[in-house]
């Protein structure tokens, strides 16, 4: 009886959480098709706001800037973060390993505003550079690296160390061990790190707001500046498309993960059969 009641309350809690999270998003998406110019009353269905969105060249440039920065920063951060996770995994000193992990975790929980202000000081005082694409890209790489490390490191600990020992006994060199044993074992973590870094970079505002300049900006900063003058349904249309892109990314990652689990299960069944 108590289990049934507990399950009911937990289900209700989960449903309430999803409603609070997704109802405003669907409300915004619904009014992106509104013929009227506000989100007060739905007067009719139209795609004019989407047409105006694609005709807005300034906004399209910021969309391209956002995706270029997200793709490049996620790739660079994935490479650096994966190498960093490998370095942490092979640390001989447990104290040093724990210290580096704690420092990495501190970067994860540091407020974005504080991180953005620190990048502002660094690029204006310590390393004076011209604000623009370079400063935004470097900042995104910096806050994405800790995310990748946390995604890749657990996969390294799940790896069977006896495989590396056996490869060394058979005469394999470091490059062969890395390409044939280590990388296939942590491939899912690398993909997860890339997708997480891409997502974080795609919707970042606080850090980008501090380091943008020289005519270069991203979508989040532009939407913020327009929202201060009043949100138009063109922004609703843009948000709807971004939501669709996010769903596609999640679906692709889920598909990759599902195929990987199936391959692992197939290998385990084959081993048991042998």
Structure tokens at 189: 């973590």
The alpha carbon of 142 is separated from its chain's Cα centroid by a whole number of angstroms, namely: 13
Q: What is the mean pLDDT of residues 69-75?
A: 95
> Which residue in the block uniquely carries the two structure tokens 């060249």?
57
Distances (CA, A) of 271 to 67, 76, 259, 264, 267: 43, 37, 18, 11, 6
57-228, what's its fold?
MetI-like fold (1.10.3720)
pLDDT of residue 111: 85
Length of the chain: 274
**Would you call 187 exposed, middle or buried from its count of C-beta atoms within 10 A (0-12, 13-18, 19+)?**
middle
Q: Is residue 229 predicted with pLDDT exceeding 60?
A: yes
Q: Convert the pLDDT of each residue in 188-197 to its tens digit.
A: 889 889 988 9
pLDDT of residue 39: 79
72 closest CA partner among 191, 243, 197: 197
Q: Is residue 137 predicted with pLDDT exceeding 90?
A: yes
Residue 144's CB is within 10 A of a number of other CB atoms, namely 28
pLDDT of residue 70: 94
Domain boundaries, the chain: 14-55, 57-228
Q: Is residue 165 predicted with pLDDT exceeding 90?
A: no
- Say if residues 191 and 253 touch (Cβ distance below 8 Å): yes
Q: Convert the pLDDT of each residue in 252-271 to its tens digit.
A: 878 877 877 787 777 777 76
Residue 2's CB is within 10 A of a number of other CB atoms, namely 6
Q: What is the CA radius of gyration of the chain?
A: 23
- The phi, psi pair for 45, rounded to 5°, reads -85, 135
Q: Is residue 227 predicted with pLDDT exceeding 80?
A: no
Structure tokens at 185: 């074992």
pLDDT of residue 239: 84
pLDDT of residue 7: 55
Higher pLDDT, 226 or 199: 199
Higher pLDDT, 274 or 268: 268
pLDDT of residue 5: 52
Q: Convert the pLDDT of each residue in 80-89 to its tens digit.
A: 999 999 999 8
- The phi, psi pair for 213, rounded to 5°, reads 165, 180
226 closest CA partner among 53, 69, 31: 53
Q: Is residue 2 predicted with pLDDT exceeding 60?
A: no
213, β-bridge pairs: 216
Higher pLDDT, 73 or 269: 73
Q: What is the mean pLDDT of residues 100-111?
A: 86
Distances (CA, A) of 196 to 22, 69, 114, 206, 252: 20, 14, 21, 17, 13
Q: What is the mean pLDDT of residues 176-186?
A: 84
Higher pLDDT, 171 or 206: 206
Q: What is the mean pLDDT of residues 180-205?
A: 88
- Say if residues 104 and 81 touch (Cβ distance below 8 Å): no
Where does the pLDDT of residue 273 fall: very low under 50, low under 70, confident under 90, or very high at 90 and above?
Answer: low
How confident is the prediction for the chain on average, in pLDDT?
Answer: 85
pTM of this structure: 0.83
Three-state secondary-structure class, residue 34: strand
- The phi, psi pair for 216, rounded to 5°, reads -100, 135
Structure tokens at 42: 């739905």
Q: Is residue 1 predicted with pLDDT exceeding 50?
A: no
Where does the pLDDT of residue 274 fall: very low under 50, low under 70, confident under 90, or very high at 90 and above?
Answer: low
């Amino acid at each position: 009886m108590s289990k049934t009641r507990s399950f009911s309350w937990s289900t209700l809690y989960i449903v309430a959480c999803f409603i609070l999270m997704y109802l405003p998003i669907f409300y915004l998406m619904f009014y992106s098709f509104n013929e009227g110019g506000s989100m007060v009353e739905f007067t009719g269905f139209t795609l004019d706001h989407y047409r105006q969105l694609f005709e807005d060249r300034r906004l399209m440039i910021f969309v391209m800037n956002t995706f270029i920065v997200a793709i490049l920063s996620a790739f660079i951060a994935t490479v650096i973060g994966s190498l960093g996770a490998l370095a942490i995994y092979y640390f001989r000193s447990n104290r040093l390993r724990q210290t580096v992990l704690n420092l990495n975790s501190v970067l994860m929980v540091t407020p974005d505003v504080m991180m953005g202000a620190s990048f502002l000081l660094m690029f204006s005082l310590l390393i004076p550079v011209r604000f623009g694409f370079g400063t935004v890209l470097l900042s995104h790489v910096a806050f994405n690296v800790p995310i990748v490390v946390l995604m890749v490191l657990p996969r390294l600990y799940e790896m069977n160390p006896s495989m590396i020992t056996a490869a060394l006994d058979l005469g394999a060199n470091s490059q062969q061990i890395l390409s044939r044993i280590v990388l296939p074992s942590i491939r899912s973590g690398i993909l997860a790190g890339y997708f997480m870094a891409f997502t974080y970079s795609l919707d970042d505002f606080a850090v980008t707001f501090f380091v943008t300049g020289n005519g270069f900006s991203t979508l989040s900063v532009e939407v913020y500046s327009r929202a201060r003058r009043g949100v138009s349904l063109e922004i609703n249309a843009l948000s709807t498309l971004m939501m669709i892109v996010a769903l596609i990314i999640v679906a692709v990652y889920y598909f990759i993960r599902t195929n990987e689990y199936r391959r692992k299960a197939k290998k385990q069944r084959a081993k048991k059969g042998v």
